[in-house]
């Protein structure tokens, strides 16, 4: 027998589908056996002794372990090497929603979590603040998704418990089910945890997800921890959270426990028979251990009477007579995990005043009981609301219970462009994405955020150099560690030395507080893709959208700022964007036409460095053809220095500075991986590399212009003969196959380059 599938003409045997279902069922069974099987309290106790470190964690330690579970790496930033936590790349979840940059905010969150662990409890709310769309929520959601994944692993196993009440024929009158003389045989078992569902009359969940160790009285619990340390099963230095040292069961579980204890005449072992321990899998969707509070206007916890429910009529009399209340709300849902306060300061202050005492004491007072919580509180707000909140009379009280973490807009193009590549992949568009479109969008976003550097802390030539930085200079300084080409080598080195000071965020109006947000740039890119009459989504289309947006000064606050010279000047920024795009096109076109390659620039720079090294040592070097020792080529050295050496710098000083920078680069690079050959001088001296390329183009401008004109004729269908025909054919092949252009956008790009650089 066969079964018709959705694909026409393909028939799959029914037996094959059944086998697939059986395989799937087997995988689900294996997963359940590994992570879903319920435990008795005694079985959990064995698990505790086998790995006490993982079972004695509070919420802060758990999230800290989540960070460490995914590892970290050192990344280069203008502030130096900083630690980036891999969880924010979301590799475990397809990288969807990964956070680009923001290493300083990541490290600040980690530091506050570590402080909570050392103190034994969470006593502050971590509040992420920054402009709208700066990735505050993305940071929090990445942490939540990492926690969800970690809780499904063996290392991240969390446990909670529920109360089980067996049926009358099993339990008899032990817990008040009825007359012992008229019932069946007496139950003789260590636990009800493994009874099948049909033998249970009632199951009561602990909505607080209380830790199973809270079932042990405090004194015995402390003795247990002491025993675990003395036996070497647990690290003597491992901090134990206050909730496990002095905490207690929630009010409902305490009432059930005490009622059972009284029924059994103080026999706590019989009480523990009713306990079933099971895995706690964190889930934002189902509000298990993680939850979000939106800016609504009601209290974040409440209670409803539980024993009035008709569905619980099967509870034994010893429990049914109790007034049990079930707590509800985000604070309850997030116990033992994380609670996100989204846009906290959009709520009226009175609705979160309770956080003053909650942060300090770790509990919330309700009508019927007091909730003791073990939850990391992580909130977000924008800068305008935070500024207004600072004027609030009780701000000082809140400030003592809040840790502020700044989350600015990104200021590096290489980080910003990752956002758009992740969120708007090329295959999601219904037309071709021209090269550099995403890069130009990211560059524009960063340029709108950069501010004129504060040069007051510097003096002399360095002060002048900092004062004269253009927005593009600053952008390259941040992104590529590249000093302006017009600076002497010694001044460039000095400027790079103070880069961390220039990059740091200071004051209320810090750099990165204003500018185009990633949301607005995504809107620009999507609008660019709506030009149905255009076969490509290209940088030139993007520039049109930017011009339209910049004209709406009343709509976007960052457009209302007063320019600081060229900084924050939207017209100038567009001009810079055009020039940067032209530079990229010029490099690609020159390489595509076979005129020059980066290899030739590197060879010239390498040869120059080799000869000045021997010149400074007053040594000869072997001739590359004969092998005979020859003196350094002074003519070649001077020819190169006419291009790269500033006019106001002496020859010998310039050469010594270059060799000194090479030595510093080799030492720094060798700390990570020992170098086995000469360094890449194009990376050591990017500004010199650019000068050599600029000089090359300047000397060949006429020939380049003629080739570009012939190329456009060729793209229009005109036949180009001879060597020129070979050149333009190679150029088209390289631009399309290697650089990713299509026939339309390569023609558009080359016409734009010819018009603005060669006519």
The CA distance from 123 to 125, in Å, is 7
Place 647 in a pLDDT band, splitting at 50, 70 and 90. Answer: confident
Place 630 in a pLDDT band, splitting at 50, 70 and 90. Answer: confident
Q: Compute the average pLDDT of residues 38-42.
A: 90
Higher pLDDT among residues 606 and 23, named by residue: 606
Q: Compute the average pLDDT of residues 688-700.
A: 74
Percentage of residues of the chain with pLDDT beyond 90: 38
Sign of CA dihedral 59, 60, 63, 68: negative
3-state DSSP percent of the chain in helix, strand and coil, to 5: 55, 10, 35
Choice among 240-249, 376-385, 621-630, 723-732 with the minimum mean pLDDT = 621-630
Q: What is the pLDDT of residues 170-191, one digit of tens each?
A: 655 454 444 443 343 344 467 8
Say if residue 57's pLDDT is above 80: yes
Q: What is the pLDDT of residues 703-727, one digit of tens each?
A: 788 888 998 988 888 988 888 888 8
The SS3 call for residue 390 is coil
Q: What is the pLDDT of residues 454-471, one digit of tens each?
A: 877 888 889 999 999 999
Q: What is the pLDDT of residue 305?
A: 57
Say if residue 112's pLDDT is above 90: yes
Choice among 43-52, 299-308, 388-397, 603-612 with the minimum mean pLDDT = 299-308
Say if residue 26's pLDDT is above 70: no
Q: What is the pLDDT of residue 593?
A: 80
- Euclidean distance between the first and the last CA atom of the chain, given in angstroms as a whole number: 74
What the block records as the tokens of 436 is: 């550099």
Place 441 in a pLDDT band, splitting at 50, 70 and 90. Answer: very high
Q: What is the pLDDT of residue 105?
A: 94
Say if residue 673's pLDDT is above 70: no
Higher pLDDT among residues 26 and 517, named by residue: 517
Choice among 182-191, 195-204, 357-366, 708-717 with the minimum mean pLDDT = 182-191
Nearest to 373 by CA among 339, 325, 397: 339
The CA distance from 274 to 191, in Å, is 7
Residues sharing a CB contact under 8 Å with residue 291, sequence separation 6 or more, in sequence order: 284, 330, 331, 333, 334, 337, 339, 340
Helix axes 598-617, 634-644, angle to 10 degrees: 120
Q: What is the pLDDT of residue 703?
A: 77
Q: What is the pLDDT of residue 566?
A: 92
Q: What is the pLDDT of residues 130-155, one digit of tens each?
A: 999 899 999 999 999 999 999 999 99
Residue 302 parent element (H or E): strand 302-305
Distances in whole angstroms, Cα of residue 754 to Cα of each of 175, 538, 572, 704:
91, 17, 21, 9
Q: How many CB atoms lie within 10 A of CB 281?
A: 17
Q: Compute the average pLDDT of residues 40-51.
A: 90
Say if residue 366's pLDDT is above 60: yes
Q: What is the pLDDT of residue 308?
A: 47
Q: What is the pLDDT of residue 669?
A: 64
Select the highest-mean-pLDDT range: 105-119, 223-237, 300-314: 105-119
What is the residue-averaged pLDDT of the chain?
84
Say if residue 629's pLDDT is above 60: yes
Domain boundaries defined on the chain:
2-36, 413-451+511-588, 598-698
Q: What is the pLDDT of residue 481?
A: 84
The CA distance from 256 to 254, in Å, is 5
Nearest to 537 by CA among 424, 418, 448, 447: 424
Choice among 175-189, 429-443, 585-599 with the minimum mean pLDDT = 175-189
Q: What is the pLDDT of residue 11?
A: 63
Q: What is the pLDDT of residue 446?
A: 96
Q: What is the pLDDT of residue 671?
A: 63
Choice among 392-396, 403-407, 449-453 with the minimum mean pLDDT = 392-396
Say if residue 666's pLDDT is above 80: no
Say if residue 667's pLDDT is above 70: yes
Q: What is the pLDDT of residue 312?
A: 61
Say if residue 428's pLDDT is above 80: no
Place 97 in a pLDDT band, splitting at 50, 70 and 90. Answer: confident
Say if residue 558's pLDDT is above 70: yes
Q: What is the pLDDT of residue 17?
A: 66
Q: Compute the average pLDDT of residues 657-681.
A: 71
Higher pLDDT among residues 614 and 663, named by residue: 614
The CA distance from 352 to 295, in Å, is 10
Q: What is the pLDDT of residue 182?
A: 38
């Amino acid at each position: 027998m066969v079964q018709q599938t959705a694909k026409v003409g393909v028939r799959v045997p029914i037996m094959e589908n059944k086998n697939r279902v059986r395989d799937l069922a087997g995988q689900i069974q294996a997963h359940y056996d590994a992570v879903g099987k319920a435990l008795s309290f005694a079985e959990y106790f064995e698990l505790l002794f086998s790995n006490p470190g993982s079972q004695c964690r509070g919420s802060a330690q758990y999230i800290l372990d989540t960070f460490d579970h995914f590892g970290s790496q050192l990344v280069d930033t203008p502030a130096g090497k900083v630690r980036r936590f891999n969880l924010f790349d979301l590799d475990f979840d397809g990288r969807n929603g990964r956070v680009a940059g923001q290493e300083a905010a990541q490290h600040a969150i980690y530091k506050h979590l570590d402080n909570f662990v050392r103190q034994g409890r969470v006593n502050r709310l971590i509040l992420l603040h920054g402009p709208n769309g700066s990735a505050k929520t993305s940071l929090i959601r990445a942490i939540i998704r990492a926690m969800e994944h970690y809780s499904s692993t063996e290392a991240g196993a969390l446990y909670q418990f529920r109360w089980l009440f067996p049926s009358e024929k099993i339990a008899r009158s032990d817990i008040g089910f009825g007359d012992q003389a008229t019932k069946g045989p007496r139950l003789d078992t260590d636990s009800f945890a493994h009874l099948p569902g049909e033998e249970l009359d009632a199951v009561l969940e602990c909505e607080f997800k209380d830790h199973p160790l809270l079932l042990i009285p405090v004194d015995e619990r402390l003795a247990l921890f002491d025993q675990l340390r003395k036996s070497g099963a647990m690290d003597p230095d491992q901090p134990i959270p206050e909730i496990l040292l002095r905490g207690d069961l929630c009010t409902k579980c305490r009432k059930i426990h005490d009622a059972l204890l009284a029924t059994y005449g103080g026999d706590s072992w019989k009480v523990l028979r009713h306990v079933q321990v099971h895995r706690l899998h964190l889930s934002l969707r189902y509000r298990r251990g993680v939850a979000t509070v939106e800016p609504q206007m009601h209290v974040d916890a409440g209670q409803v009477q539980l024993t009035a429910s008709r569905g619980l009529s099967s509870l034994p009399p010893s429990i049914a007579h109790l007034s049990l209340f079930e707590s509800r709300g985000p604070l309850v849902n997030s116990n033992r995990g994380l609670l996100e306060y989204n846009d906290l300061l959009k709520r009226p202050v009175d609705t979160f005043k309770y956080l003053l005492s909650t942060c300090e004491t770790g509990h919330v007072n309700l009508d019927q009981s007091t909730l003791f919580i073990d939850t990391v509180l992580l909130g977000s707000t924008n800068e305008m609301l935070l500024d207004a909140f600072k004027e609030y009379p009780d701000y000082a009280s809140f400030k003592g219970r809040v840790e502020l973490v700044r989350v600015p807009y990104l200021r590096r193009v290489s980080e910003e462009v990752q956002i758009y590549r992740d969120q708007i992949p090329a295959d999601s568009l219904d037309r071709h994405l021209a090269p550099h479109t995403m890069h130009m969008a990211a560059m524009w976003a960063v340029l709108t955020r950069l501010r004129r550097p504060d040069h007051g802390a510097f003096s002399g030539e360095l002060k002048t150099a900092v004062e004269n930085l253009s927005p593009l200079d600053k952008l390259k300084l941040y992104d590529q560690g590249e000093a302006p080409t017009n600076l002497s080598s010694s001044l460039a080195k000095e400027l790079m030395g103070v880069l961390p000071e220039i990059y740091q965020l200071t004051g209320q109006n810090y750099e990165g507080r204003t500018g185009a947000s990633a949301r607005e740039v995504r809107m620009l890119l999507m609008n660019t893709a709506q030009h149905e009459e255009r076969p490509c989504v290209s940088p030139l289309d993007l520039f049109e959208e930017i011009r339209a947006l910049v004209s709406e000064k009343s709509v976007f606050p960052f457009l209302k700022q007063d320019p600081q010279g060229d900084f924050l000047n939207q017209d100038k920024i567009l001009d810079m964007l055009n020039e940067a795009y032209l530079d990229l096109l010029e490099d690609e076109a020159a390489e595509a036409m076979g005129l020059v390659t980066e290899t030739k620039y590197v060879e010239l720079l390498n040869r120059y460095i080799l000869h000045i090294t021997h010149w400074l040592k007053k040594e000869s070097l072997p001739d590359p053809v004969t092998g005979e020792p020859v003196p350094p080529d002074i003519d070649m050295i001077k020819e190169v220095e006419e291009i790269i050496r500033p006019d106001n710098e002496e020859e010998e000083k310039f050469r010594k500075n270059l060799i000194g920078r090479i030595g510093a680069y080799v030492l720094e690079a060798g700390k990570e991986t020992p170098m086995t050959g000469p360094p890449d001088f194009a990376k050591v001296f990017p500004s010199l590399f650019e000068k050599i390329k600029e000089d090359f183009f300047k000397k060949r401008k006429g020939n380049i212009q003629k080739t570009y004109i012939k190329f456009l004729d060729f793209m229009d269908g005109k036949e180009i003969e001879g060597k020129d025909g070979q050149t333009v054919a190679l150029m088209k092949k390289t631009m399309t196959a290697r650089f990713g252009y299509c026939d339309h956008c390569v023609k558009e790009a080359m016409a734009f380059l010819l018009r603005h650089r060669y006519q």
